[in-house]
Each structure stands twice: as C-alpha cells, then as structure tokens.
Structure 1
Amino acid sequence: MKRFRLGIIINPLAGLGGSVALKGSDGVAVEAIAKGAIPKAQMRMQQALNVILPFMKQIDIITASGDMGGSLCRQMGFSTQEVYSAVETTSTETTTAIDTQHAVKCLLDHQLDLLLFAGGDGTARDIYAVVDDSFPVLGVPAGVKIHSGVYGITPHASGLVVSMLLKGELVSLMSADIMDIDEIAFRQGIVKAKRFGEMTVPAAPRYIQAVKMGGKEVDELVLADIAADVIESMDDELYIMGSGSTVAAVMEDLGLDNTLLGVDVIHHKSVIAKDVTAQQLLALIADKKMYPRAKLVITLIGGQGHILGRGNQQLSPELIRQLEKDDILILATKTKLKALEGRPLIVDSGDPELDKALTGYYKIVTGYHDYVMYQVANPDLVEN
C-alpha cells in the first residue's frame, strides 16, 4: 500500500506578535521576543499532528530541518525526511519568507500528497508564491491575523481534515482565497485587506474557515443600542475590551479612546490601560484587592464566527480560565449572526481543553435589552 506523503512547513515566527500587542509578526519578531513573546507555531502544528498519530505507519513526512518541521516531526516519532535546511533553523530569529519559499520548492520535488503548513496570512502568501493553485495545501492557524480561507478553524480541525484523507474518505478539492493586510497600517488601527489569489484546499467546510468579512458595521443605530446595553450594566468590575468595531462602539459611546485592533482595559468607565499585552492583562487581574472581578467584552469575526484566537491572542488561556462564563460578554449584530447560517461560534484559544470547556450556549447582546442564545461548539471537537 502506498504511503501518504505529507509535506510539513512551520513558520517559527508565526503569531509571535499577538500576545505582546504588536498586531502581527512581520518585521517585529526580535521586538516581540524581547517583550516576552513565546513561539507557539510548533505547539499549533503538534496539535494538528496529534490527530493523525494513529495513522503514523502509513505516513512519510517530508519537511525542512529544525524549527521549520524536522525537530517536531522526529520528536513525535513520524518517519521524517528533511530536504531543506535554513541557516540555524533552531533559532526563531533567523528563518525568513525566503526560507519558506525555498523549503516549499524542495518539498514539491518529492511527490507530496498534501502540504500542511503552520503560520498566518503572510505564510500563506509565501507558499502561494511557489505553489499557486496547482497543488493541495492546508493551513494550521498559528498567526495573529488569519483572513485567508486556506486554514482549518483550529489546529485540531486541520488534523481532522488530514485524517479524512488518510481514512480514504472522498474529499473533494476547492479553491480558497489568499488574503493579507498591511501590518504597518494594521498597527495604526487601519485595515487594508487585499486578495492575492487562490490555493487549492481539501473541501471540508465543517473544518475549514471562511474568508473574513471586512468593513465597519453600517448599522450605527444597532451598534449604539448594543453599546447602551453594555454601558447600563457596567459596575465596579474591571472591563477587558476586545478588538473589533462592535466593541469600539461601546468605547465611543463612553467617550474613550479605543485601540480598534487591540485590547484596552477600563475601570469605572475610564481607560486604565491601552493596547495591553497578555502579561499585562494577567498582572492587572491578579490584583484581586483592587479588581475583585473582571469581565471580558468581545465580538465575533464576521463570516468566520471566531470569538477567540483571531487577532486577540492577548486574551490568553491563562486569562480566560480565571473568568466565569457569565463574565464573558459577546456582542454581535443579528446581521453578523445570520451570516453564519447556523454555524456555531468558534474558540481557538490555543488550549484544546479550554476550548472544550467553553462550549455551550451564550447570551449574545444584539441590541438594547435585546439578546439571543447562540452556541459555541467547535465542529472539530465533535467526534464523528
């Protein structure tokens, strides 16, 4: 029986800037590490590969050396062939977009059945520059900004798609958009998204994320109603205000400066910390004498349904575990919820056990004293 030839590429820099509020990793990896960022792309790929461990005997992995794939795959016990070596790839400060592209070119010379990569939109663009739409790929979400449609909704979901192929299930192929934004503008609160092309991915809509719907909400009256409801309920708690235009409407109604694409913290309706990092948030809520209770205000990404793990990695699993379910306020217009066409909201915190714990029905604020119950239920966590 022919063994499945799986290409693996990991961008060691992916996601470094998220937890330290740098809005991305392009060009700021050294700064992110200096701020205390911990590389997580290896862990994200490991979560995907854990799903296919039962099929280990029928898989040959073709990859690059060191942190770009080889070290992890060998450590997990897979039959591994390294066909590209970047200079000092064990250091997350050395690999570049050129390394990704050169590695992909080498991998494609080895008759792969699928290329699985961990990264963000920048990584997807680098791979697209080599493979175009001529070869099936699948992304493991590990970046800060993930607008492209080539990724699984979570790392576990990406692994499930590969397992479907290994089981011999009939999986069609579909084209998915490659999207990316200008990170310099993004750090200034401006979203400039651009479509760069398409790549071919396994057609498993249950597990593959949609392309993010961009743009500020046009229904200002609804946003004002949502803001009024949240503000009316505010008391002595510490409020962690997530990113996005719906949360920004609350800040605007309070007359407060807002970091549209970051996380701010308010207390007694005043900003006490702007554009905070994950560690800064943990330090704030650790002061139980000053802030005995904290609440998190978040919204969903239009078209995708993610409420955690896309553009708000500052909201770490360590933070979320310290909150009660009732402390998580989810805001959304009914238009955004209807656009999901019944698909659940998704959490991709980086901690699969926490993601499971967060499933269930939540009260979504959709207007002034107007709420709907909506499910958080990652499809990839449901056993077939």
Structure 2
Amino acid sequence: MTTVGFLVNPIAGMGGAVALAGTDGQSAEALRRGAVPRAADRAVQALSALPGQDVEWCTCAAPMGEDVLAAAGIDHYTVLYRPAVPTGAADTKAACRAFLAAGVDLVVFCGGDRTARDVFDAVGREVPILGIPAGVKMYSAVFAVNPAAAADLIHRAGEVPCRDSEVMDVDEEAYRSGRLTARLYGYACVPYIAERTQGGKQVFEQQDEERAKNDIAAFIAEIMIPDALYIIGAGSTTARIMERLGLLPTLLGVDAVRNGEVVARNADERTLLTLLDEHPRAKIVVSPIGAQGFVLGRGNQQISPAVIRKAGLQNLIVVATPGKLAATPLLYVDSGDVALDREVGDSLQVVSGYRIAQRKRIVHPE
C-alpha cells in the first residue's frame, strides 16, 4: 500500500479566468473580480477517479486537504497539519515537512507553479512529488496532464519509474506586465508515464520560426470575416496576428478584435461572454504551449468552457509554427470541462504557415 501526503492550495488558479495571469498575492483582487476557487474541484475530480482504497492518506485540515478527501468519498486519512486561515506558502512547506516526518512514499499537491516550488522547497528529492494541475500557467514539468491522469499516476505509484523533472520559478509580476521571466528552480523526482505526465515549456525563437509566425499571421488576417468577433489567445504566434492587423497585442493575455479594431484588451471570461452576447458570430484563435502541447487549460483560462461553447467548438482555430509542432508531438486539452474536452475529438488541424496546416493527434488520458 502506498502512503500519500496530500495537500491543496485553495486559491490556486483563481486568477486565470479573471485575467490576472496568476494568483500569487492577488487572491483578494481575484475574488473582487468574481473569481471562483477551482483547485478543490480539480482535486476532487482526480481523487474520485482512483480505483479502490489502495492508498493510505496523510493530509491537512479543512480546505488544504481534508475537505477534498471527504468530497471524493475517501474517509480513511490522517490529518497531520492544521493550517492558518487564510493559507499560505508557509503552510504548504510545513505540511510537506510533516509528510516527510510521517514517512510518506509520495507527495501529491493540487495547485500551480508557485505551489510546486513551495513543495519542492520542503521535499527536495527525498520523495517523489506529483501535481494535480489547478494553476494558471504550470510551466513546471511536475504535473499530470489532467486530473484523470493524476489519478492513474497515484494508483500506479511505486510501479512506474520516476524521472528528474523541472520545477520552474515564474516571475508573476513580470508575467502580468507581459514579460515571461522564468528560471529553472530545481529538479524534482516525479512519477512518469508518457501521455500522463506533462513536459516543460519550450520557447522557440529561431529565424525560421519568426518567418513562420509572419506567414501564419498573414493567412489568418486574410481569412478574417467582416463583423465577426475574434478572440485572440496568449502567445507570440497569436501576438504576431495582432501586429499584422496593426494592433498592440497582450502577449500573455487574451484580446478581442472585430473589423480590425480591438474591442477588449486583456479580457477576462466575463468580458468575453458579454462580447459573445453582442457578437454571436465569433472565432477563437489559440496556440498550444510549446513542447507541453496544451491547447486549452494552460495560461488561457479566460477562454473558458462557457466561452468556447458560446462561440462554438467548430470556431476554434489553432495556430503553431512548424518548429513548435516538431517539438510537440501530441496535443492536450484540459479546459476543466471533461465533456467539452472529449468533444474536441482525437485530432486538431493546426495552421502552421500561409495556407498550410498539419493535423495533430490529441491525447485524452482517462
């Protein structure tokens, strides 16, 4: 039987849908903007999928773990740590130290990159760690690709190999101002199964990549429909589309464009839904995260399941350069709505140049 130390960062991911690009130090502002906590739901989704009772659980009191275990129907656990209210990084680290003292075999946490860093600070490489993805960005390679994959990895812990995986330290203040500043924080030991454990993000800046971005931008600008609303997701490839239109992009946010003019900059979910009420004919343009392959659910939570359903899944346009696609063999969707993720299907056509597209396989770990 595997002994698992389990904790939840209750505020993780709240900043995504309300266009805060992260939640570190911003939980009060996220709530003011109408954000809804999502980490607990993501954790319940993962733990509810575990087959049988083959895990001995150690956890934290109330919202940092105990509530999730109860909601997932798990009634045999030991509470080893009682956090302060509200919880913070110090609680994550203290809980992990308590898990280590209890001799756990694996530390499972639900959160984002900052939570991963705090867990790593306390655990290091003494035991494997695994993240249930609930943050905004999640550039670290310590997360399962979705809650169902996390359940499989937990169930098979001790049987599957571990690998050294990057823990990334992302500067959220810089991120909010449109600059991606990340450094390697360390290498954690993480259970690894292909198509279950996500990779680290890669950035592509070669000369040929820049030419490909220009070609993609020229093609998308050419096929834009008059009076239609275009929701432009985050990334350097989608930013080039905005620049082709003579518009200033929000590199790490979501913009909305109609008839060559910006109608919303760095829009949140609520703004996008309002715009879709006013302009029901719409397209959504996104680019997968390099190497990780996530089309939805990483860094673009403003484009929520409600937004996608309102615009129509058939109006989703995915763009990526050939270099990015070559380093990204598989695509994933983790929108938070399992039914919607399934509706995306088993493959997507990705625009990779001027009137050029590639069809890429989508993996649904369930």
Task: Supply the distance in 2 between the matched residues of 1:361 and 1:303 (Cα, whole angstroms).
Answer: 17
**Structure 1 residue 101: Cα displacement:** 0.6
**Structure 1 residue 284: Cα displacement:** 1.1
Whether 2:228 is the aligned partner of 1:237: answer yes
Query: Does the CA contact (< 8 Å) of 2:113 and 2:140 recur in 1?
Result: yes
Whether 2:128 is the aligned partner of 1:136: answer yes
Query: Does the CA contact (< 8 Å) of 2:45 and 2:72 recur in 1?
Result: no
Task: Supply the distance in 1 between the matched residues of 2:361 and 2:186 (Cα, whole angstroms).
Answer: 33
Query: Does the CA contact (< 8 Å) of 2:195 and 2:363 recur in 1?
Result: no
Q: How does 1:175-214 map to 2 (within 5 A)?
A: 175-214=164-203
Report Cα offsets for 1:55-107 as digits up to 9, x if no partner: 22x3221100011001111233321211111123xxxxx11100111111112
Query: Does the CA contact (< 8 Å) of 1:227 and 1:250 recur in 2?
Result: yes
Number of the residue aligned with 1:12: 10
Whether 2:290 is the aligned partner of 1:302: answer yes
AA partner of residue 135 (structure 1): V
Report Cα offsets for 1:3-28 as digits up to 9, x if no partner: 33221110011111111101101111
Number of the residue aligned with 1:311: 299
Report Cα offsets for 1:198-228 as digits up to 9, x if no partner: 1111121221111100354642221111011
Tell me the SS of whatever aligns to 1:321.
helix
Query: Which sections of structure 2, spanning at least 5 residues, go unmatched?
Result: none
Query: Does the CA contact (< 8 Å) of 1:359 and 1:375 recur in 2?
Result: no
Task: Supply the distance in 2 between the matched residues of 1:132 and 1:203 (Cα, whole angstroms).
Answer: 17
Whether 2:79 is the aligned partner of 1:82: answer yes
Task: Supply the distance in 1 between the matched residues of 2:307 and 2:138 (Cα, whole angstroms).
Answer: 22
Q: How does 1:1-384 map to 2 (within 5 A)?
A: 3-52=1-50, 54-56=51-53, 58-78=54-74, 79-88=76-85, 94-165=86-157, 170-214=159-203, 216=205, 218=207, 219-235=209-225, 236-287=227-278, 291-340=279-328, 342=329, 344-378=330-364, 380-381=365-366
Task: Supply the distance in 2 between the matched residues of 1:82 and 1:214 (Cα, whole angstroms).
Answer: 41
Query: Does the CA contact (< 8 Å) of 1:317 and 1:351 recur in 2?
Result: yes
**Structure 1 residue 363: Cα displacement:** 2.0
**Structure 1 residue 189: Cα displacement:** 0.6
**Structure 1 residue 108: Cα displacement:** 1.7
Task: Supply the distance in 2 between the matched residues of 1:217 and 1:329 (Cα, whole angstroms).
Answer: 24
Query: Does the CA contact (< 8 Å) of 1:74 and 1:80 recur in 2?
Result: no
AA partner of residue 192 (structure 2): A
Report Cα offsets for 1:247-291 as digits up to 9, x if no partner: 00000111101100000000001100000111111111122xxx1
Aligned-residue CA RMSD in angstroms?
A: 1.4
AA partner of residue 341 (structure 2): D
AA partner of residue 132 (structure 2): V
Tell me the SS of whatever aligns to 2:109.
strand
**Structure 1 residue 172: Cα displacement:** 1.2
Query: Does the CA contact (< 8 Å) of 1:243 and 1:262 recur in 2?
Result: yes
Task: Supply the distance in 2 between the matched residues of 1:297 and 1:74 (Cα, whole angstroms).
Answer: 39
Query: Which sections of structure 1, spanning at least 5 residues, go unmatched?
Result: 89-93
TM-score, normalised via structure 1 length: 0.92
Tell me the SS of whatever aligns to 1:109.
helix
Identical-pair percentage:
39
